[in-house]
Amino acid sequence: MDTLVITLRVALSLGVVLALMWVLHRRMAKSGFGAGKTRGRRSASVEVVARQGIGGKASVVVVDVEGERLVLGVSEQGVNLLTSGQAPAPELTIVTGPVQLPVRPTPSADAFRQELAAQTAVEPRLQADAAEQLPMRPRNRDRRTVPTSAQLQGSILSADTWRQAAAALRNRRAG
């Protein structure tokens, strides 16, 4: 009985800790803490354009920050600005008239019917006696049937399993 009480206390404590962690996570996500948002000032839009490794732990990184392109040298010792300049404007295509999209021809119903006939002619048919030998499951099984004790034997749902477990715990405590 003591083992059962201890197990229930541990499970309850674990449930409380997990619930507390979930509530804290939700509050942190709503407040924006740790989500990359800065409080009190506008955050800069930073986009890494390219990165190229040039050594063991050294690389060159091209970054766009608020319309300015920076080329940075990154190593174990730190980050150095190599050069900077104006970021190129994104290329836009202005459409002034209707656009003709490529269209794939769709197969007609006759072509589908012919292919279906060709495939069914190739596949062998099951013979009537062979189909009768296949095991069949009932389609509309009554879902309200209660399993018998023989079907539940050894299962956690069986009352006999719970009786045996209780008897084993009583014998262990008494002994």
- pLDDT at residue number 36: 53
Nearest residue to 61 (alpha-carbon basis) of 80, 43, 45, 36:
80
- pLDDT at residue number 142: 61
Backbone angles phi, psi at 53, to 5 degrees: -75, 135
Instruction: Give a yes or no: residue 82 inside a domain.
Output: yes
- pLDDT at residue number 143: 62
**65: its two tokens:** 């920050």
Instruction: Give a yes or no: residue 81 inside a domain.
Output: yes
Contact 71, 82 (CB under 8 A): yes
Number of domains in the chain: 1
Residue with tokens 């495939």: 119
- pLDDT at residue number 120: 78
- pLDDT at residue number 18: 96
Report the alpha-carbon angle 147-151-153, nearest 5: 120
Three-state secondary-structure class, residue 64: strand
Q: Give the containing element (helix H, strand E) for 68.
A: strand 68-74
Instruction: Give a yes or no: residue 148 inside a domain.
Output: no
- pLDDT at residue number 134: 60
Instruction: Give a yes or no: residue 93 inside a domain.
Output: no
SS (H, E, C) 130-150: HHHHCCCCCCCCCCCCCCCHH
Instruction: Give a yes or no: residue 22 inside a domain.
Output: no
Mean pLDDT by 10 residues, the chain (175 residues): 88 94 90 59 76 90 90 92 85 80 76 82 58 61 70 82 88 75
- pLDDT at residue number 158: 83
What is the distance between the alpha carbons of residues 34 and 43, in angstroms, rounded to a whole number? 13
Instruction: Give a yes or no: residue 155 inside a domain.
Output: no
- pLDDT at residue number 175: 60
Contact 58, 47 (CB under 8 A): no
- pLDDT at residue number 70: 93
Which residues form the domain of 70? 48-86
Q: What's the longest Cα–Cα distance across the chain?
A: 93
C-alpha of 59 from chain center: 33
Instruction: Give a yes or no: residue 109 inside a domain.
Output: no
**57: its two tokens:** 């732990």
Instruction: Give a yes or no: residue 64 inside a domain.
Output: yes
**Residues ≥6 apart with Cβ < 8 Å to 75:** 55, 57, 58, 59
